[in-house]
Amino acid sequence: MSFLRPRHAGLQTDLYELTMAAAYWASGRSEDSATFELSIRSLPQQRSFLLAAGLEQAVEYLRSLTFTNEEIDFLRQHPSFEFVPREFFDYLGDVKFTGSLSAVPEGTIVFGEEPLLRITAPVIQAQIAETYLLSTLTYQTIVATKAARVVQAAQGRGAVEFGTRRAHGPHAGLFAARASYIAGFAATSNTLAGFDWGIPTVGTTAHSWTMSFADEQESFRRFAELFGDKTVLLIDTYDSVEAVRKAMAAKIPFRGVRLDSGNLVEQCREVRRLLDAGGRNDAIILVSGDMNEYVIRDLIAQGAPIDMFGVGTDLVVSRDAPALNGIYKMVEIEQHGEIRSTAKFSDSKTTLPGRKQIFRSTSPDGKIAYDVLGLESERYPEAEALLQPVMEAGELLSPMPTIEKIRSRAAASLSRLPASLTRLNCDEPYRVQKSAMLTALLETLRSRYVPEIVPTVPQQSRDR
Amino acid sequence: MSFLRPRHAGLQTDLYELTMAAAYWASGRSEDSATFELSIRSLPQQRSFLLAAGLEQAVEYLRSLTFTNEEIDFLRQHPSFEFVPREFFDYLGDVKFTGSLSAVPEGTIVFGEEPLLRITAPVIQAQIAETYLLSTLTYQTIVATKAARVVQAAQGRGAVEFGTRRAHGPHAGLFAARASYIAGFAATSNTLAGFDWGIPTVGTTAHSWTMSFADEQESFRRFAELFGDKTVLLIDTYDSVEAVRKAMAAKIPFRGVRLDSGNLVEQCREVRRLLDAGGRNDAIILVSGDMNEYVIRDLIAQGAPIDMFGVGTDLVVSRDAPALNGIYKMVEIEQHGEIRSTAKFSDSKTTLPGRKQIFRSTSPDGKIAYDVLGLESERYPEAEALLQPVMEAGELLSPMPTIEKIRSRAAASLSRLPASLTRLNCDEPYRVQKSAMLTALLETLRSRYVPEIVPTVPQQSRDR
């Protein structure tokens, strides 16, 4: 996947990561080892779980993290660095990621405060990575989560992703296609997603095709002549029911029809009736246009005979929860050779110190029961430890999973959600409990609040 | 800006654009000239105007629109194209944009139904461009609009963009930086936006810098040692007021302080008092954390002594209006050598036919007064015609404006908004009136609805 290598990886970061890098360097701390964890502070009100996605791009970024001469020259001349010794730029020119990465695999269910990934690396490397990692992981996670809700609402009917045109730029559309496929979508309209990852891509015609002909029926005939039984006719350019009559009268092959507007319950019933009366019980009805999990639930509840949903805007912008409050926080730092746990205690924005692990317990019926958020050094032999090692000394420990494997993992994860969490409006939040050791560490730090230093917790070891 | 050339431009499209391309080709219509217009169906409820942005990237895309052999091979083997004659792929391999483009310049105020751009080109080229153009223009327009509201709410205090980490992927963050700078933001934290466009980039330290030292005061001293009076101290890691005392006691140079949490009105007052008492009336107070136009308005109304606002998540995802209903519709097509205006009449999704122009009238006080949306062939000598020619025969007519020029244009446009439209909650929508000729054309088409063909309106000429 080297064609996905981020352009100018080194500069895809907030400037303060680089000013801090200079300050770490000038303080003689370039090689101090730091540990950062990336988590979502809390679930949006409209979400009862998150489906983690985007790790592959995070890894691609870490493997691409370098500075070219051109980029270094830009920084050298930047007014913020006016007072910074020129030797710093030589240092920066040699930076690449040499640290370790642990993460929950893509397709894992996670909750608020749980780390999606943890990096331990020389502090400058770990610091610079913040901006890119957050935007990559949180966006794909937002979309995968929304997509999982859509798939649940569709109750076995297919869902296809049509959102690139309304995404936050074409790249967002590409990654939305990836994330929704992971979450169980059948396909995407984004052609490049097919090229990049082998995701099934679908699409037939837009209104413009029909409009380009003076006669609607001719537009159907011409398309079906070429695409045969792959044809899905878009029938709502003028009058949907009339269009189906024209299609049937034309005696052309087609796989199904698509409706993109209007009263879908009524129209789909009439369209279904016409198709069946013409002996086309096999023809599918696809609907699109302002679809989301709530609309889909309602259409199904009203008995609309729909076989497949095309979902766009609301999915790719996650309209009812367009951002996650992702954070990337230092949890441990070496200073003068000593390892120290760290937290911040800003009003309502406290972070959890120490290298953590998510310990997940399962009910007898196989559903997930509760999580303990503890220190990595703790042991819960009955529980599953979700964070797994991915990179060591800057190298991948094993090849990243294929998208099909990630999709299977997501399906398995989603099937283990208790029924309460699969409701679109969930009022029984999943239980995530902090371990006694984590709580103790947090309180120790809090009590030392103004003099912030605390000793390392003895059970923690720096190397995994 | 060739380093911004889109990767795999040809495949950055919905698959149905390419299946339609094959069908146009197979119907012998590859060279039929089509005109498409891109517009926003209607303003989101929370917006009283839009600030157009993203044209530069749209042009970059059109100039990059080609298919490599590798991409063609991918399509050749795609199951959707199984029945498509192999000669189509030779045709596609030669595609590049040879059409004309008119557009409203970036930094122009626009409203619902008004075309942001118009393309006239051989139908296959014009069709394929839909997906990329929509996502590029609508996203930057969303952000520029939100940013303009933030700048208005800040009433002359500076606003800086901090949102990449929470944007819909790192690319969205980059383009959000561009769009918000156009709209009047002073700077961005996105380093690559500085490299790519020369946008001022800012940033000093995060909580991690402070947390990396056992002693908060030492972290301040170390940073200021290197950055001198460029230093902005982040003071809310533990206790903001205490942190200011430490900074003053350390007798270090700094430009100002940043607060990222807590009761900002109260804290900013106390911080200001301490700074002033220590003779630092010149030190600025920057606040960040969940900022948006409403919060900023309220902070200012409550008299919080804030000099600068750092705005992130809510801006870059445009939280209260995270998508625009952008459409790209065929308005005219050649068939058998005849030019025909086109529209669709789907329920509540009617589109406006014909090549259109926005005619804007100005009040005696210089404010914009109302727009007439008419046919391009109409003449309103007193009004300003907003759509301007940008490309002809696939070539730029003149170099694209610099970002500073676009930003000046945006400032001029925003200064011409009537007061009612600058309110955050506007209840007097701007008047956009369809011309009699446009209405007549629409009604002619509507009346011929089932037999859709209509004659060309005589006043229209294909070539500009």
Question: Which of these three, A269, A286, A316, is where a domain ends?
Answer: A316
Enter the DSSP assignment of B92: H
- pLDDT score, position A463: 40
The residue behind tokens 């000729």 is B437
- Other Cβ atoms closer than 10 A to A120: 23
Write down the pLDDT at residue A128.
Answer: 97
- Residue B427: the pLDDT is 85
Q: For chain A, what is the mean pLDDT?
A: 94
Looking at the structure, tell me whether residues A263 and A362 fall in a common domain.
no
The amino acid that residue B419 corresponds to is A
If we measure between CA atoms, which residue out of A115, A103, A131 comes closest to residue A10? A131
Residue B172 in this model has a pLDDT that exceeds 60? yes
Find the mean pLDDT for residues A240-248.
96
- Check pLDDT > 50 for residue B154: yes
Short-list A55, A225, A34, CA closest to A124: A34
**If pLDDT is split at 50, 70 and 90, which confidence band does B347 have?**
confident
Phi, psi (rounded to 5 degrees) for A350 = -60, 145
Whether residues A230 and B345 touch (CB distance < 8 A) is answered with no
pLDDT classification of A262: cutoffs 50, 70, 90: confident
Do B344 and A237 make contact, defined as CB atoms within 8 angstroms?
Answer: yes
Structure tokens, B424: 């955050």
Closest CA to B20 of A235, A159, A226, A259: A226
Judge whether A6 and A60 are in contact, CB under 8 Å: yes
- Give the separation between CA A290 and CA A292, rounded to whole angstroms: 7
Q: Is A122 helix (H, G, I), strand (E, B) or coil?
A: strand
Nearest-10 crossing angle of helices B130-154, B293-301 = 0
Question: Domain check: are A52 and A195 in the same one?
Answer: no
Amino acid at the residue A86? R
Considering the domain architecture, whether residues A261 and A341 belong to the same structural domain is answered as no
Helices (H), B251-402: 264-277, 293-301, 313-316
Of B211, B316, B346, nearest to A261 by CB-CB distance is B346
Alpha-carbon gap, residue A78 to B169, rounded angstroms: 25
Residue B251 above 90 pLDDT?
yes
- Both structure tokens of B372: 């007439």
- Are B353 and B439 within one domain? yes
Radius of gyration, alpha carbons of chain B:
26
Give the tokens for residue A141.
Answer: 């996670």
Distance of CA B444 to CAs A61, B341, B441, Å? 55, 10, 5
Question: Is A114 part of a structural domain of the chain?
Answer: yes
Q: How far is A320 from chain B (nearest CA, A)?
A: 9
- Give the lowest-confidence range in A446-460, B327-341, B364-378: A446-460
Q: A84 and A26: one domain? A: yes
Residue A67 has a CB neighbour count (10 Å cut-off) of 22
pLDDT band at A412 (very low <50, low <70, confident <90, very high): very high
Q: Say how many C-beta atoms besides its own lie within 10 A of residue A276's C-beta.
A: 13
| % of chain B residues with pLDDT over 70 | 95
Rounded to an integer, what distance in angstroms lies between the CA atom of residue A361 and that of residue A368?
6
pTM of the model: 0.95
Q: Is residue A110 part of a domain?
A: yes
Q: Where are the alpha helices (DSSP H) in B52-116?
A: 55-64, 69-76, 87-93
Whether A340 and A332 have beta carbons less than 8 Å apart is answered as yes
CB contacts of A223 in chain B (<8 Å) are: 23
Tell me how far apart the alpha carbons of residues B372 and B435 are, in angstroms, rounded to a whole number.
6
pLDDT at residue A332 in the model: 96
CA B328, CA B348: separation in Å to the nearest integer? 16
> How big is chain B, counted in residues?
464
- Give the CA-trace dihedral at A10, A168, B179, B58, to 10 degrees: 100
* ipTM for the predicted complex: 0.94
The least confident of A193-202, A337-346, A437-446, B106-115 is A337-346
Q: How far is Cα B117 from Cα B453, in angstroms, rounded to an integer?
A: 25
Q: Of the residues A268, A290, A316, which one is the last residue of a structural domain?
A: A316
Tell me the shortest Cα–Cα distance from B22 to chain A, in angstroms.
8
Per the structure block, which two tokens stand in for B339? 């030019």
Give the distance from residue B210's alpha carbon to the nearest chain A alpha carbon, in angstroms: 9
Spatial CA neighbour of A140 closest among A106, A179, A166: A179
The secondary structure of residue A461, as a DSSP letter, is -
For residue range B303-336, list pLDDT tens digits in order. Answer: 999 999 999 999 999 999 999 999 999 999 998 8
CATH code at position B275: 3.20.20.70
Asked whether residue B442 is domain-assigned, the answer is yes
Q: Do the domain assignments include residue B463? A: no
What is the extent of the structural domain holding A251?
157-316
Total tally of structural domains belonging to chain B: 2
- How many CB atoms neighbour CB B384 within 10 A? 13
Lowest mean pLDDT among A232-241, A328-337, B133-142, B447-456: B447-456
- CB contact residues (below 8 A), chain A span 211-240, against chain B: 211-216, 222-223, 225-228, 230, 236-239
Q: How far is A411 from chain B (nearest CA, A)?
A: 24
Determine the residue of chain A that is closest to B453 in CA distance.
Answer: A214
Q: Are residues B297 and B276 in the same domain?
A: yes
pLDDT of residue B450: 45
Whether residue A178 is found in the same domain as residue A311 = yes
Asked if residue A277 and residue A164 are part of one domain, the reply reads: yes
Left, alpha or beta for B54 (phi > 0: left; psi -120 to 50: alpha)?
A: left
User: Could you give the CA distance from residue A49 to residue A389 in angstroms, rounded to a whole number?
Assistant: 23
Instruction: Looking at the structure, tell me whether residues B55 and B73 fall in a common domain.
Output: yes
Per the structure block, which two tokens stand in for A389?
């090692």
pLDDT at A4: 58
**What pLDDT is stored for residue A359 in this prediction?**
98
Q: How confident is the model at residue B449 (pLDDT cuts 50, 70, 90)?
A: low
C-alpha span between A449 and A432 (Å, rounded): 25
pLDDT over 60 at B453, yes or no: no
Residue B66 in domain:
yes
From the list B457, B442, B447, B443, the residue with the least C-alpha distance to B338 is B457
Residue B371 and residue B232 share a domain: no
User: What span, in angstroms and rounded, lies between the C-alpha atoms of A19 and B268?
Assistant: 25
**Amino acid A448: pLDDT:** 78
Among left, alpha and beta (phi > 0; psi -120 to 50; other), residue A117 is beta
Which chain B residues are Cβ-neighbours of A325 within 8 angstroms?
A: 166, 313
Chain B, nearest residue to A315 by Cα: B323
| Mean pLDDT score of chain B | 94
Question: In angstroms, rounded to a whole number, what is the distance separating the alpha carbons of residues B450 and B456?
Answer: 17
Out of B189, B326, B329, the one facing A14 most closely (by C-beta) is B189
Q: What's B246's DSSP letter?
A: H
CATH of residue A119:
3.20.140.10
Last residue of a domain, one of A316, A340, A362: A316
Q: Which of A32, A132, A208 sits opposite B330 (nearest CB)?
A: A208
For residues B448 and B455, the answer to whether their CB atoms sit within 8 Å is no
- Give the B window 283-342 contacts with A, CB below 8 Å: 289, 313-314, 316-319, 322-326, 328-330, 333, 335, 340, 342
Instruction: Tell me the sheet residues that pair with B119.
Output: B36, B101
How far is residue A54 from each of residues A405, A448, B328, B388, measured CA to CA in Å?
14, 37, 30, 41
pLDDT over 90 for what percent of chain B?
90
Name which of A134, A340, A346 is nearest B260 (Cβ-Cβ).
A346
Q: Do A250 and A122 share a structural domain?
A: no
Q: Is residue A47 pLDDT above 70, yes or no?
A: yes
B332 and B352 co-located in one domain:
yes
Residue B298: the pLDDT is: 97
Q: Which residues of A touch B174 (CB under 8 A)?
A: 12
Q: Is B40 helix (H, G, I), strand (E, B) or coil?
A: strand
Minimal CA–CA distance to B143: which of B297, B315, B319, B294? B315
pLDDT for B4 equals: 58
Tell me if A155 sits within 8 A of A341, measured CB to CB.
no
In a domain, A9, yes or no: yes
Distance CA A418, CA A431 (A): 12
> Alpha-carbon distance A192 to B250, whole Å?
56
CA separation for the pair B232, B223 (Å, rounded) = 9
* Residue contact A201–B167, C-beta within 8 A: no
pLDDT digits (tens, 9 = 90+) for B22-40: 999 999 999 999 999 999 9
Q: Closest to B211 (Cβ–Cβ): which among A79, A167, A333?
A: A333
Is A426 a member of any domain? yes
Residue A449 pLDDT level (bands cut at 50, 70, 90): low
Of B202, B216, B213, B189, residue with least CA distance to A24: B213
Which of B 89-148 lie inside 8 A of A, CB atoms?
Answer: 123, 127, 130-132, 134-136, 138-140, 142
Kindly state the percentage of chain A with pLDDT values over 90: 90
Chain A with chain B: Cβ pairs closer than 8 A: 394
Look at residue B386 and tell me whether its pLDDT is greater than 60: yes
Taking the CA of residue B369 and the nearest CA in chain A, the distance in Å comes to 30
pLDDT in tens, A115-156: 999 999 999 999 999 999 999 999 999 999 999 999 999 999
- Mean pLDDT over A202-222 rounds to 94
Q: Is A456 within a domain?
A: no
Say if residue B150 is exposed, middle or buried (CB neighbours under 10 Å; 0-12, 13-18, 19+). Answer: buried
Smallest Cβ–Cβ distance between A195 and the set B71, B166, B228 belongs to: B71
Q: Is the CB of B18 inside 8 Å of chain A's CB atoms?
A: yes
Tens of pLDDT along B401-433?
999 999 999 999 999 999 999 999 988 999 999
Which residue from B7, B132, B313 is facing A323, i.e. has the nearest CB?
B313
B422's CB contacts (< 8 A; 6+ apart) are: B48, B152
Distance of CA B389 to the CA centre of its chain: 20
Q: Is B5 on the interface with A (CB under 8 A)?
A: no
